[in-house]
Amino acid sequence: MKTRYTFGGDEHVYVEMDDEMSLDAFFKSLSMSNAVRDANIEGVTEICPANASFQVRFDPDVISPDEIMAKVKELEHKAESAEKRLTTRIVEIPVFYKDPWTHETLMRFRERHQDPNGTDLDYAAKINGFADADAFIEAHHSQPWFVSMVGFVAGLPFLYQLVERDKQLQVPKYLSPRTDTPKQTIGYGGCFSCIYSVRGAGGYQMFGVTPMPIYDPEQKVSHLKDFMVFFKPGDIVKWKPIDRAEYDAVVAAVEDGTYEPRIAEVEFDLDEFNADMRGTNAKMLEALNDA
Do 205 and 112 share a structural domain? yes
Q: Looking at residue 198, what is its pLDDT?
A: 96
User: What secondary structure letter does DSSP report for 219?
Assistant: -
Q: Which residues lie closer than 8 Å to 83 by C-beta, 6 or more apart?
A: none
Do 16 and 33 share a structural domain? yes
Do 186 and 203 share a structural domain? yes
CATH number of the structural domain spanning residue 254: 2.40.100.10
Domain membership of residue 36 as a residue range: 4-82
Q: Looking at residue 78, what is its pLDDT?
A: 75
- 79 has pLDDT over 80: no
pLDDT band at 163 (very low <50, low <70, confident <90, very high): very high
Q: Looking at residue 1, what is its pLDDT?
A: 59
Over residues 201-213, mean pLDDT = 97
Cβ atoms within 10 Å, residue 184: 23
- Domain count for the chain: 2
Do 201 and 130 share a structural domain? yes
Q: What is the pLDDT of residues 80-90, one digit of tens each?
A: 776 788 899 99
One-character DSSP codes across 54-93: EEEEE-TTTS-HHHHHHHHHHTHHHHHHS--EEEEEEEEE
Q: Looking at residue 31, what is its pLDDT?
A: 87
Domain boundary among 82, 97, 120: 82
Do 94 and 77 share a structural domain? no
Do 19 and 150 share a structural domain? no
pLDDT band at 291 (very low <50, low <70, confident <90, very high): confident
pLDDT band at 36 (very low <50, low <70, confident <90, very high): very high
- 236 has pLDDT over 90: yes
Q: What is the pLDDT of residues 42-75, one digit of tens each?
A: 999 999 888 889 999 999 999 999 999 999 999 9
